[in-house]
Structure 1
């Protein structure tokens, strides 16, 4: 027996013993455990990467499950000692380190980040406060979106936090005036990591190593040097007809890049629930689970999101980087936490973990707080009545078109789907009839589509009424440049209201939805004047491109 085999066998034995002990004290029924196992392993077929998941209630571990392979190279399985990258779920610990500095009197929530990094956003008059970075209300653009704009695949690079700072120092504008909106941006938490270094005089990894030691989370660390990450690691795998992994060479941290074990995350939930005492002040831990400034935003606090799940208040976060994904759900009123870590592209932990919550909290209860189908059939609309592009306020779009007599719905980043008529003004997806579309006219006489599905509340998009008289479509064509990133944008017309866009190595097909708005890929472009285009992405807004020819 090899050393690796002996290690796996030993760990497996210890895990079996600990699980038998857990079963002896478990308050869940055998039936419930069987159902939880089925949910946990639904996307873990034989000889596949997998999952680690647990439930903590009233400070006690009531469920723990491991399944699948950690690494095909040595045939190691996922066990309690396996470390996962939990990505953005690491933000809560960056925020915890900030809280320790605040408690020590070394930092204030109202401080402007430029007190510490004066080269940032020198032309912005409004303060950019620490609390705004914590709550994603700073307006600072997301570096990952900026890299994408520049044609860079970030995970193929070995950038560190200093590279992020250099890129942000080149930005002269923000997405919005600080404190006026909420928009998630990873840049905020990378800057917070740099701030921790600046104030402490130590590396962010060293400061947080001390923090995790105080918490007793000895297998958890922000990894700022990919060459020194300690195993055993659950390697991330996608499935493109076969399981495929990739080399992790990323060094940016603070926004994520936190490697940890399920057992360490279980311990953290027990600490939060008051079961375990540590040398981190209790008031700091309690503060970390609260909103920072409800007047600023009720959506986000110290690295955590706040909301309601089926009318039950909860605190949660999702993490995803490649095939590594993680979910944590906390129901403070129930003293209940659910954690899921995965290394498989097939798994959707955000869904699975909520299925577990459904089983524990909502079985046999009527919890639907939204319609999953239209309440009534409305006035008849023909297929040709509904074709065109529909938008939300944030430029999410549906495009309905007819090809060879078949009605299609097209969405950015998704496969085109075939629609069938269900009733006079209601259609549904041919292969998934639960996804329904209801067409009605709004008070302005614009056609509106409302989408229904079993897993989300209905949402609506509107087809703008547009006057194209006298409009010259060639006004959009040309080459434009953004000075903050150095990116050139080329736009050429290909057909009526259709364009081809080129940015570095990125090519997009675009469609004009109004004379001044063009949608292309994940971007929305606004024609401010004949020589100026404003570009919006998911987490970058109002990037100014000026015509150069």
Structure 2
């Protein structure tokens, strides 16, 4: 019986290794086109919290031929919004705020519109507030033409005389929503977004390579350079704004997997708010 059990376990182990090797080979093939004279990527895959793949391809910097590694820091883009949303939900879980609160309770500078805008509407992009970047583009100053700060972002949000629609009646993706959520977090906690998320998430989860781009001029060791492809050549396309929350998170693939474990293992959040994170919202109508 013991010999039979040992044989079965051995065969199972061999089978699992074979499957993982096959998976690794298939992933390698997907990214084989990222060679060492072009910007690249870092890729990590886990199954049930177990890391099965973690590799990097291409270059982190073209000028100095610096290769990407598994420790390279990348701009997370709108994945950054997850951390803002999680911060709000954590404060709601602690009783520091309610998702049904009127946003003006915390941000009286926001105009009073036809109907109240709740924190939950900001989370779900149903507030009707126009995107701050689009508004600046209409003034002749798109995001790539000047250095934008949190204050400049909030300023044009507060100047909006009207909304795109009645709050809660429609969905429209707007970075302004998450700009306001950052401000609420900072008002409620008395801490910067960087300090709050470091204490609430990054440090407890061991995300030692994750930080906010709250100073675009700061030297960040191991950070990748961003490029865009234009007329047959790569051009620099680095963000030069201090505005963060809707974007602006710098992180690694390994740290994002640690973040993913927060969702998989129900860390930090109780069952109610663990479910709330993934609950689809309904419009008022």
**Structure 1-normalised TM-score?**
0.46
Q: Which residue of 1 aligns with 2:244?
A: 253
Distance 1:229 1:100 in 2: 31
Instruction: State the 4+ residue runs in structure 1 displaced beyond 4 angstroms.
Output: 23-27
Distance 2:86 2:105 in 1: 21
User: For the structure 1 residues 119 and 271, does the alpha-carbon distance in structure 2 shift closer, same or farther, using more than 3 Å as the test?
Assistant: closer
The CA RMSD over aligned residues, in Å, is 2.3
**Structure 2-normalised TM-score?**
0.87
The Cα of 1:288 is off from its aligned counterpart by 5.7
State yes or no: 1:104 paired with 2:91: no
Determine which of 230, 234, 238 is the counterpart of 2:224.
234
Determine which of 50, 60, 82 is the counterpart of 2:72.
82
Determine which of 1, 17, 25 is the counterpart of 1:34.
25
Ranges in structure 1 where 5+ consecutive residues have no aligned partner:
1-22, 298-549
Greater Cα offset, 280-289 or 97-106:
280-289
Distance 1:251 1:24 in 2: 50
Distance 1:263 1:288 in 2: 25
Map 1:401-480; keep pairs closer than 5 Å: none
Do the aligned residues in 2 keep the contact of 1:137 with 1:183 (CA within 8 Å)?
yes
Higher relative contact order (CA 8 A, sep 6+): 2
Determine which of 286, 293, 296 is the counterpart of 2:274.
286
1:54-73 CA distances to partner (integer Å, 9 max, x unpaired)? 22212212222210000123
Distance 2:96 2:172 in 1: 27
Do the aligned residues in 2 keep the contact of 1:208 with 1:222 (CA within 8 Å)?
no
Distance 2:273 2:32 in 1: 33
Q: Which has the larger radius of gyration?
A: 1
Q: Which residue of 2 aligns with 1:216?
A: 206
Secondary structure (helix, strand or coil) at the match of 1:226 reads coil
Distance 2:256 2:282 in 1: 31
1:35-87 CA distances to partner (integer Å, 9 max, x unpaired)? 22121233x14411101112221221222221000012332211121100011
Structure with the higher helix share, 1 or 2: 2
User: For the structure 1 residues 27 and 202, does the alpha-carbon distance in structure 2 shift closer, same or farther, using more than 3 Å as the test?
Assistant: farther
Do the aligned residues in 2 keep the contact of 1:205 with 1:223 (CA within 8 Å)?
no
The Cα of 1:30 is off from its aligned counterpart by 3.2
1:275-328 CA distances to partner (integer Å, 9 max, x unpaired)? xx86x345477246421x63339xxxxxxxxxxxxxxxxxxxxxxxxxxxxxxx
Do the aligned residues in 2 keep the contact of 1:156 with 1:249 (CA within 8 Å)?
no
Q: Which residue of 2 aligns with 1:149?
A: 138
Q: Which residue of 2 aligns with 1:139?
A: 128
Map 1:357-436; keep pairs closer than 5 Å: none
Distance 1:52 1:247 in 2: 18
Query: How many residues are treated as equivalent by the alignment?
Result: 269
Secondary structure (helix, strand or coil) at the match of 2:54 reads strand
Ranges in structure 2 where 5+ consecutive residues have no aligned partner:
1-13
Secondary structure (helix, strand or coil) at the match of 1:296 reads coil
1:127-146 CA distances to partner (integer Å, 9 max, x unpaired)? 10000000000000011111
Do the aligned residues in 2 keep the contact of 1:219 with 1:261 (CA within 8 Å)?
yes
User: For the structure 1 residues 263 and 115, does the alpha-carbon distance in structure 2 shift closer, same or farther, using more than 3 Å as the test?
Assistant: same
Determine which of 199, 214, 219 is the counterpart of 2:188.
199
